[in-house]
Every structure is written in C-alpha cells, then in structure tokens.
Amino acid sequence: MPLEEKEVEYFFASDASAVIEHTNRVIYLEDDDVAAVRDGTLSIHRLKKSLDDPHAREITTLKMEIQQIMKGNYDYFMQKEIFEQPDSVVNTMRGRVRFDGNAIVLGGIKDYIPEIKRCRRLMLIGCGTSYHSAVATRQLLEELTELPVMVELASDFLDRNTPIFRDDVCFFISQSGETADTLMALRYCKQRGALIVGITNTVGSSICRESHCGVHINAGPEIGVASTKAYTSQFISLVMFALVMSEDRLSLQQRRLEILQALSKLADQIRDVLQLDSKVKELAKDLYQHKSLLIMGRGYNFATCLEGALKVK
C-alpha cells in the first residue's frame, strides 16, 4: 500500500507511557512548540527556534513494553512497584557495577568526573520523595567525596534566590524529569553557570534534555503517584556516584568495599523484607485508626522517617 494511502493515528499525551499501548514511536515537544494535525498531517511549529538548534524534532523509539505499565496480578500499581524492587535495584546497577573488580562505571557522567572533583560544593535539589533520596545519601556523599553537600527543597530554593556559583555542581532529582519546581530550579542554576547533573527515570524528559550530564536510574515505569521503586533506585544511583568519586582515595578503599559488598546483597535482602507482607498488613490494621503516628530516627534513618511519614500521610 502506498504510504499516502495508509491510515495514520496521532496521540497527544503528557507522558509517553500513556500511548505505549498504541505505539512505541514518540516525538517530545519543547517549550514554545505548537503541534497541529490537519488532514492527517502533523506539523510542528517552533516559535523560538534558535540558530544553534536548526534540527527538526526527532522521532524516538521507546524500549518500554506494555506489560510494564499493567497491574498484572496486583491490586494496585503501588503494590506492584513495591514488589518490583528486587529487580529494579539490580537494573539500576546493571552494566555499571562490576562486583568482581569492585569497579563502578557511570557512562552518563564519566567525562565530567574531573570537573566535579574540582567543584566548590555539591547541591542536591528535588521535591517530595526525590528530596528524601537526597537527604538519605547526603551523609555518605560527604564521607566519600569529601566535599560540602547541600540538600535543597526545590520550591524553597527558588523562593530564597539562593546564591549559585560557576564552580557549583547541582544535582536535580526527579522520577518523571518534569517536576515543575525542580525544572525551574535547574534553569535558575544553569543560567548562573553551574554544572547540571540530572537524576531521572524518564529518557527524553525536560530535566534529561536540559542537563549537562546525568544518570538514568533504570527503575522502569512508575505509574503509582506515591513513589516507591524510584526512591530506592535514586538512592542507589547517588551511592554509585559517591563510589565513583572515591575510587582513587586509598584511605577510603575499605569503606568502598563494604558498600559494594552490601550492594551485591541488596536484592535478596529486599526479597526477605517483602516476605513480611502479611505481617505488615496486620500491623497496619492495628494502627490505621489512630489519630496520629510519630516516626522517629536519626542519622541514616532520618530520611527513612521523612519518607515513611510522607507515605503514611
């Protein structure tokens, strides 16, 4: 059949996962793009086409499978994603962590590591669960990078007009890569000359495209509004970054080895925790009618308290 006689369908969505049931070919629109379909023909008008970006919008082929966005045998997407964590943490480390040689390779940022090592400070910026993953890893990052680490809530960060310097390195953490406050904070820092590192779960997202470099957490599609597996994968991605930064520090080699050995056991330990599902459900039945719940912890467990409180709310 000639191309001009074939039926063509166009789908418009805010997220690529919404159309994977119909097609795996997508075009990501940028700010100030206008897309129009008329008589079966798609036209994209770029209102602010820059001289250094003369190319047309490209068609991207998604590697996502429809099974990844179905609930399967689970009652809720959130439940499904909780039980996917033994696999998602392995996928985050796949091809990056070599346990036999105690080596870490993060291809998305490896060319920028020398520049990052010379920076004034590391800034971790996010919202909600992504912010908590930054809080959770701050102590380890300070220990292994020996750099000052600041953790910022994206909305507060913008309200304060925070001073940003050209030798700052700013990490922007977002599962979707489209979180509005985080994206605005990214542009604020980029305008001031900081190096921008994106930590996202969505290839082709705005934060991915506007970062200088980054790490894709490879957690798989997360449909549930309450983030679960993305949190653990964000945590692991930042831990891997800390391990890369400390690979040439002789005084830290024993500590690095301990962390790598712990990462190798992580998937099995998560499976052990998930086997407590029925006991956790019974505990929840005892607690859910109470008027308040106080979650306490310190050190590495402080971020777990914040994230646990967010989920309980």
CATH code: domain of residue 83: 3.40.50.10490
pLDDT at 47 over 70: yes
Picking from 109, 131, 284, the residue whose alpha carbon sits closest to that of residue 211 is 109
Q: Is 176 left (phi over 0), alpha (psi -120 to 50) or beta?
A: alpha
Asked if 55 and 171 sit in the same domain, the reply is no
Q: Residue 288: which pLDDT band, with cuts at 50, 70 and 90?
A: confident
Backbone angles phi, psi at 242, to 5 degrees: -60, -40
**229 in a domain, yes or no?**
yes
Asked if 108 and 195 sit in the same domain, the reply is yes
| pLDDT tens-digit map of 132-160 | 999 999 999 999 999 999 999 999 998 99
Calculate the CA 281 to chain-centre distance. Answer: 28
Asked if 119 and 57 sit in the same domain, the reply is no
- Residue 302 DSSP class: H
Q: Residue 237: which pLDDT band, with cuts at 50, 70 and 90?
A: very high
pLDDT at 223 over 90: no
Rounded to whole angstroms, the Cα distance separating 137 from 17 reads 29
Beta strand residue intervals within the chain, DSSP E = 25-27, 33-38, 41-46, 59-61, 97-98, 103-104, 121-126, 149-153, 168-174, 195-200, 213-216
Rounded mean pLDDT, 88-111: 94
Rounded mean pLDDT, 294-310: 94
pLDDT for the residue numbered 54: 58
State the burial class of residue 79 (Cβ atoms within 10 Å of its Cβ: 0-12, 13-18, 19+).
Answer: middle
Rounded to whole angstroms, the Cα distance separating 57 from 192 reads 28
Residue 295 near residue 128, CB atoms below 8 Å: no
**2 in a domain, yes or no?**
no
pLDDT for the residue numbered 67: 55
Residue 229 near residue 80, CB atoms below 8 Å: no
pLDDT for the residue numbered 48: 74
**6 in a domain, yes or no?**
no
**80 in a domain, yes or no?**
yes
Asked if 28 and 86 sit in the same domain, the reply is no
Asked if 136 and 206 sit in the same domain, the reply is yes
Residue 132 near residue 310, CB atoms below 8 Å: yes
Q: Which of 68, 91, 113 is the last residue of a domain?
A: 68
Q: Residue 1: which pLDDT band, with cuts at 50, 70 and 90?
A: very low
Residue 175 near residue 230, CB atoms below 8 Å: yes
State the burial class of residue 286 (Cβ atoms within 10 Å of its Cβ: 0-12, 13-18, 19+).
Answer: exposed
Asked if 76 and 24 sit in the same domain, the reply is no
State the burial class of residue 263 (Cβ atoms within 10 Å of its Cβ: 0-12, 13-18, 19+).
Answer: buried
The segment with the largest mean pLDDT, out of 39-43, 72-76, 171-175, is 171-175
- Which structural domain, as residue segments, surrounds residue 295? 71-312
**4 in a domain, yes or no?**
no
Calculate the CA 26 to chain-centre distance. Answer: 21
Calculate the CA 175 to chain-centre distance. Answer: 4
